[in-house]
Amino acid sequence: MRTFQIQTDSDLNQVKQWITSRYSSEEDSKDSTDSVVKTVQWIINTVKKNGDTAIAEFTSRFDGVLIEPQEFEISKQEIIKSFNALDPKILKIIETSAENIRIFHSRNLRNSWEETLDDGTILGQKITPIEKVGVYVPGGKAFYPSSVLMNVIPAQVAGVKEIIMVSPPSYNGTIHPVVLATAHLAGVTKVFRIGGAQSIAGLAYGTEHIPAVDKITGPGNIYVATAKTMVRDIVDIDCEAGPSEVLVIADGNANPDFIASELLAQAEHDEKACSVLITVNADKDIINKVNKRLEYFLENLKRKDIIEESLNNYGAYIIARDWDEVIELTNYFAPEHLNIQTEFPRKIEEKIKNAGVIMLGSMTPVAVGDYIAGPNHILPTSRRARFSSPLTVEDFRKVSNYIFYSQSRLQNQAEDIISFAEIEGLTAHAFSVEIRTENRRNIRNE
């Protein structure tokens, strides 16, 4: 982990520069990015042209699984079998998480509305669910039943009729049984054992066996993320997810073990995850304490190699001059996860404008949000919390505005509408109002 000691404005700018370029490396060079884009474009074009045959070939090439198109979909019987075989203790945990997620997201629902004015004019908004959604659940380095819940339940609460799940066949040529059981519990309509960019192309354009959807959500590797970006001209997507990240704000009274655990937990996601601790100069001794505990805990962790690479390349300790600078850097960072371990965390929180999720206090690890608290763990990364939000039920619904104009209102506003149209040089717009109103030639001549 590198250390930034801020003593001057130049030091502050150096930290900001590191924040904006923290994912830059030789591997992430333009040539590498171009290579990913070209590969994904080739996959998408091939799937568009050859459909299921292309997906089967790519599944064999990239996942090492030989599978015929008619075998893409996992049968209801196999899904129910996985559900029935689930350990009752695990089932109870998943049910608790699902219920908390459902309750939290139900509170986000907006209602359609309508207003009738005195002259009979009607203005309103009609909110309707997206009809068909595709959910991507990763399955490479680990399996993620939590991703099933966080994607599917908000869609279900929103009223989506068809929820199509795809996931790589990385567990003995199929999907992990816990993921299948969770899909059944959450209410997934269909499950396909395909992954990668080819599955995104299949969901976007449709094939003989895979239905085309209206929106695609869910995290994935760089090929999946790039594919989602490339198909968004015909389907909506949730976000362009980058590597996971946590920013811990701590004072001198914070527990070094708790801080270290947060940095380690985030770093174990993958080698590019970003884990940062920020404090003030007066409390900088906390960094040495945390660093010792990091080294101690790391020796016994299963994903030690991944964590070490992540912390060495993308981890940092930042020592700010004061708490105002801590707030400034936090809002500049716009972290996916913000963990505040200070004596009065709400005083910090009230000044935070940019963060995907804010974990308040020493007893609120990021893991409670990942699994069981209820808020969504699909969050904006790479500073996107400056302008975007976590996945919510409203991401699966859309708004239609509607207008009914009475004759009297159109007559009263005709001159203004016509004049506005003529300012923009759109005479046909003006004519569409003129032809419906009285004395239109007089209005037109004026």
Which residues are known catalytic residues?
A: 336-337
Tokens describing residue 353: 């404008």
Residue 252: CB atoms within 10 Å:
14
Show the 3-state SS of 213-262. Answer: CCEEECCCCHHHHHHHHHCCCCCEECCCCCCCEEEEEECCCCCHHHHHHH
Question: 183 by DSSP, 3-state: which?
Answer: helix
Question: 78 by DSSP, 3-state: which?
Answer: helix
Contact 50, 66 (CB under 8 A): no
**Ramachandran bin of 426, using left for φ above 0, alpha for ψ from -120 to 50, beta for the remaining angles:** beta
Contact 200, 165 (CB under 8 A): no
Tokens describing residue 103: 């309750």
Strands across the sheet with 245-250, in order? Answer: 2-5, 316-320, 274-280, 245-250, 337-341, 357-360
CA–CA distance, 196 with 142 (Å, rounded to integer)? 15
